[in-house]
Amino acid sequence: MARYECDLHTHSVRSDGNDTVIELIDHAASAGLRVLALTDHDVRPPVEVEVDGATVDVKTYAKQKSVSFIGGIEYSCDTDVDDVHIVGLGCDFSMPAFLAAEQAMAKSKVDAYRALTEVLTRNGILVDWSDVLQNADGSSRPEDAVQRKHIFETIARKGYTKTWQEAKLLVRDNPVYNIRREKIDPLDAIQIIRAAGGVAILAHPHLINETVEKNGEKISRRDYIERLIESGLMGIEAAYPYDKTSYKGTQTNEEIRESILREYGARLPVISGGSDYHADGKKGVASPRELGEGGVTFDYFRTNPLLAALI
C-alpha cells in the first residue's frame, strides 16, 4: 500500500506518463490513495473520461473508486534554469491564459526537441524524431505531445545509456546538447495559477542545481526559491522520491523532506508532496516511482484549508 494517502503530483499519457487517466485512477484506488492529483506537463487536465463507450465526469469516476480527483497542471518553467516546475492545483482551467500557454508550450517543444534529436544524431547518438514519436505499445504520439523525457527514454532504449535518468544528465550536462526551448517564466506561471483561483507549488526543489545562472548572475537555489516566494509561490514539495530521479545530491529523501519542513514549513501555506508517478514500469524501468511514494498524509490534507478546498 501507498506510504502517503494523498499523491499531489502524477502523470498520464496526456504528457509523458504511461497510464491512461482511467488506469491512473484505477491504480490509485488499488494503492489505497484517497486523493489523487493529475499534473500533466503544460496541458490542462481532463474533465471527462470515456468508460465503456460512455462519457463520464472524471471526478465522478474517481469517486466511484473511493478516490478524490484533483485536476492540475505542471508547468516546465524557465528557459535558462533546468528543473524549475510549478504545479497548479484547483485552477479554473477555462481561463484563456491556460489555452494560450498550452499552445505556446506545444510549439516550443516541437521546435526544440526536433533540433535536439538532430544534434544528438550528428554527434553519434542516433535518435530519430520518428523514434521519439513511438509509444511503448508501438502506437505513435502526436508531435505536440512529445516531452523531453521521451527523448531520454529513446536514448536509453537504443542502448546509449542504461536508464532515462542517465540520458537526462548526459543531455543536461553537455553544452553541445543543451538545446534551449522557450518556457513559461515561473513568475508568470505563478500568476496565471493564482489568478485562476489555484494553488501554485514548486515541484521537486532539490532537482534544481545548488547554484544556477539567471540573467548572467549566479545565484543559489535558496535565493532562487526566495524570488518565487516573493512573487506569490504558495507551496513547495517536501516528500518526493529523489532517489529515483536524476537528483545529483547526497541527501536522502527523508533528509530533504526534513530540510524543506525546517526552511519553509512556517513560511508557506502548503507543504506538498507527490510521487511524480509515470507508470515507468510499463517500459521496463527498474524500481520505478510508485503512487503514494511521495505525497502528504490525509490528516494534513484535510486540515490544510487550501488543500481541503480542492475536493
The overall longest dimension of the chain from CA atoms, in Å, is: 55
Give the pLDDT confidence of 11-64 residue by residue, as tens digits. Answer: 999 999 999 999 999 999 999 999 999 999 999 999 999 999 999 999 999 999
pLDDT score of 23: 97
Q: Work out the angle between the directed axes of helices 96-122 and 148-157 (0-180°, nearest 10).
A: 30
For residue 146, pLDDT beyond 90: no
Per DSSP, helices labelled H in the chain are 21-30, 58-64, 96-122, 129-132, 148-157, 164-172, 186-195, 221-230, 253-264, 298-303, 305-308
Q: Mark residue 138 as left, alpha or beta (left: phi above 0; alpha: psi -120 to 50; beta: remaining).
A: left
Q: What is the 3-state secondary structure (H, E, C) of 23-37?
A: HHHHHHHHCCCCEEE
For residue 121, pLDDT beyond 70: yes
Q: Are 272 and 87 in contact (CB under 8 A)?
A: yes
pLDDT score of 145: 81
What is the pTM (predicted TM-score) of this model? 0.89
- Partnered with residue 89 across adjacent β-strands are 72, 199
Give the pLDDT confidence of 196-252 residue by residue, as tens digits. Answer: 999 999 999 999 999 999 888 999 999 999 999 999 999 999 999 999 998 989 999
**Residue 135 half-sphere exposure toward CB, CA atoms < 13 A:** 18
